Amino acid sequence: MNHRFRAAIFALAALGAVLPVDQAHAQLGRLRDRVRQGADQVRGAVTGGEQAAPAQAQPEGAEADAPAAPGAPVAFVNFDFVPGERVLFAEDFTRDNVGDFPRRLELLEGNGEVAEVGGRRYLRAAEDLKFAIPLTEALPDRFTLEIEYMAAEASLAEIYLAEGEHGYDRDGKARATFHVGTNFRTVAGLNTQDSRSTQAGFQGYQPNVPFFVRLMGDGRYTKMYVLGTRVANAPNFDVGRGRQIVVNIPGSGVAGNEGAYIASIRVAAGGRDLYDALSAEGRVAVQGILFDTGSDRIRPESAPVLQRIGDMLRGHADLRLMVEGHTDDVGGDAANLSLSTRRAAAVRQYLVERFGIDAARLESQGLGETKPAAPNTTPEGRQQNRRVELVRL
């Protein structure tokens, strides 16, 4: 049986559908007939052996700068995701040649290639694709994973954190599978090999429009977010840790669609308590404050990080801070300096207005690309440099 139809049956069972197996197969048959009716229309867009590109769309968000996606706005439900501060792996495929498999990923099964859509690079699954994200160290107890994903309908993506095949460690211990399904319902969550699961539906999915899948781990506590919804909240699941993360995404063919695309990947180690870091070092970098591209408008998914800062300021009435804005070296010096200045001022104003912090306790300045935290020669370095820093006064 084709991998994608096996995955769809899994989605019906593991994602909460309560159908007997024969009914599940029947529903799959109906899906196959329905989607193949449109296959000729899709294949008609394929010329010269090239796969048709998905509809051009802007991403839902990005690590430091992102245009909003078209369509309905993202609704944030129980969204408490705070990205890790120390970047372990970052990739946006801009350094890879179109048509090549990304050099920094490890191909395990299938076929994938870098494609350019609307001026942006993606990893496209030409066939069902399994690949590994290699890490220079084992995934730490506190970590975050962000994958910007795009797929047509009838899609099931899977993520494994343990080193071995299908969510098992190399010693055979049962581990977990994170899944994102748009086969019959937009449902995502976490299943373990010992039949434990937690999952929920999510809103706002549109075929061929990028969206973020996020994981946040703290020891045995793991949370998963899709678009703006927390879909898995597992306080005592051992999901595994290793020196690689395995991702399985569907390719083109079964539904006559274009297959799945990945626009960016970010893996980071979780940070320390903000006040502890300020007390010890006098400054702390914050990675999770996001802005619209070329703008100082703060994006909604920044709220959890800003809440932490506001709570810290409320809890320590004598604390005074300088809010610094920093950029990477992409773009002109003057433009980066101006943008970082406006963004730092926007964060200061947000804290004053939202949390009632006395404006006299906060100052702001933009430093552009003049104070890099890491070399700008790698994706990880550029990610590290796009940041807000809090400096104790």
pLDDT greater at residue 373 or residue 44: 373
Instruction: Please give the C-alpha separations between residue 266 and each of 11, 48, 133, 271, 341, in angstroms, as whole numbers.
Output: 26, 34, 10, 15, 26
Highest mean pLDDT among 33-42, 334-343, 377-386: 334-343
Q: What are 315's two structure tokens? A: 């809890």
> Is residue 48 scored above 90 in pLDDT?
no
State the pLDDT confidence band at 262, using cuts at 50, 70 and 90: very high
Counting every residue written for the chain, the total comes to: 393
Whether 312 contacts 274, CB under 8 Å: yes
Separation CA 121–CA 62 (nearest Å) = 14
Instruction: Please give the C-alpha separations between residue 222 and each of 106, 143, 198, 235, in angstroms, as whole numbers.
Output: 25, 10, 11, 6
> Is residue 317 scored above 90 in pLDDT?
yes
The per-residue pLDDT for 314 is 94
Separation CA 304–CA 188 (nearest Å) = 21
> Is residue 175 scored above 60 in pLDDT?
yes
| Beta-bridge partners for 290 | none
The per-residue pLDDT for 52 is 38
Separation CA 91–CA 123 (nearest Å) = 10
> Is residue 342 scored above 90 in pLDDT?
yes
Separation CA 354–CA 357 (nearest Å) = 8
Helix (H, G, I), strand (E, B) or coil at 305: helix
Rounded to 10 degrees, what is the CA torsion of 217, 261, 291, 188?
A: -40
Instruction: Give the count of alpha carbons within 13 A of 19, CB side only.
Output: 17
CA-wise closest residue to 124 among 312, 251, 266, 310: 251
Whether 143 contacts 268, CB under 8 Å: yes
Residue 378 φ/ψ region, left for φ over 0, alpha for ψ in the -120 to 50 degree band, beta for the rest? beta
Whether 269 contacts 84, CB under 8 Å: yes
In the block, tokens 């609307």 appear at 118
State the pLDDT confidence band at 43, using cuts at 50, 70 and 90: very low
Written as one letter, the residue type at 348 is R
State the pLDDT confidence band at 196, using cuts at 50, 70 and 90: confident
Kindly state the percentage of the chain with pLDDT values over 70.
74
Separation CA 321–CA 313 (nearest Å) = 9
Written as one letter, the residue type at 19 is L
Helix (H, G, I), strand (E, B) or coil at 168: coil
State the pLDDT confidence band at 77, using cuts at 50, 70 and 90: low
Separation CA 276–CA 385 (nearest Å) = 22
Separation CA 387–CA 285 (nearest Å) = 7
Please give the full DSSP string across 26-41, using - where no structure is assigned: HHHHHHHHHHHHTHHH
Mean pLDDT (the chain) is 78
What are the residues whose beta carbons fall under 8 Å from the beta carbon of 332, sequence distance 6 or more?
A: none
pLDDT greater at residue 371 or residue 26: 371
pLDDT digits (tens, 9 = 90+) for 124-168: 998 899 999 999 999 999 999 999 999 876 678 899 887 665 555
The per-residue pLDDT for 75 is 61
Written as one letter, the residue type at 46 is V
> Is residue 47 scored above 80 in pLDDT?
no
Q: How many helices (H) and strands (E) does the chain have?
A: 7, 19
The per-residue pLDDT for 112 is 94
Whether 153 contacts 230, CB under 8 Å: no
Q: What is the mean pLDDT of residues 289-309?
A: 90
**E strand segments, 151-220:** 156-160, 176-181, 187-192, 197-201, 211-218
Terminal C-alpha separation, the chain:
64
Q: What are 211's two structure tokens? A: 């969206």
* Number of other residues whose CB lies within 10 A of the CB of residue 40: 9
